[in-house]
Copies of this chain bind each other. A is one copy, B any other.
């Protein structure tokens, strides 16, 4: 089902050089459907502030709460509207090989530049099964592998990555196992993006990572761009750390969703099972914004402490 039209548009090398990739938030309307106007505004902010790539429907973007048709539609929409300004990486991974095959085929058909693939979380499998899983999708186009054992319950060992790296479509790995693991890969010739915002500055400048796939850059894209492009900057890194710590006080994207709503750039709508951070944390966020400087954050409204009643939680959508 390959389209040569699409395939000729992106090379693996285009992906390998990306330094700042944002795992974009998906904003919602009060009935739980996508809020494409808000989404487009977020995309513009990313592009203006120097993000070079975007993950559509990652865990941050709540791909696991989308139906596949919503997910592919969002990838197609992003390519169509922003594909000439930014690389669009669709999270078409799944713990079901069938779903990963189908979604990846469709994602490339609608023009995504690369796929993000996770190992089979929850169901898990043997290392041989993991390799078979990745091999079914690697032939389809440029691919980033994502390793996050705290979510999947299973580490992707380096041996698996080295084996599948024989496929020229492997662009690299988004790695959350820390900077020593990153170093090991870099030494072995594998392109790496840090998956941990709190370690990405060091990963980039001290351990050879190419860049970061970031959550924090949803909020302060310009600062994250500064950290990834212009050399070591421990003082800026330290300045951003309180925000990063706050963001991950609960499983991502709970903090991010709360923050973006407080900044007035998305409606305060949560798809369950996510619920907003409690009011004490929301007050804390206002303080963090003031300390870092409102002007570094996306949007131009005042940052607010929203009430519990301001939030809409949707289960059916």
Whether the pair B5, A40 counts as a contact (CB closer than 8 A) is yes
Which of A2, A110, A317 has most chain B Cβ within 10 Å?
Answer: A110
Number of A interface residues, CB 8 Å?
75
Q: Determine whether the beta carbon of A59 is less than 8 Å from that of B110.
A: no
Query: Is A121 in the interface zone, CB < 8 Å from B?
Result: yes
Q: Pick from A120, A130, A272 the residue with the most CB of B within 10 Å.
A: A272
Interface string of A277-290 (1 = CB under 8 A from B): 11000000000000
Q: Mark A118-151, 1 if CB is under 8 A from B, else 0.
A: 0011111110111011001000000000000111
B110 and A33 contacting across the interface, CB-CB below 8 Å: no
Give complex CA distance A27, B273 in Å: 30
Which one, B106, B129, B133, contacts A254 given CB within 8 A?
A: B129
Question: What's the least CB distance linking A175 to chain B, in Å?
Answer: 17
Confirm or deny: A76 has a beta carbon within 8 angstroms of a beta carbon on chain B: yes
Are B97 and A124 interface neighbours, CB within 8 A? no
Which residues of the other chain, B, contact A102 by a CB distance below 8 angstroms? 316
Minimal beta-carbon separation of A33 from chain B (angstroms): 5
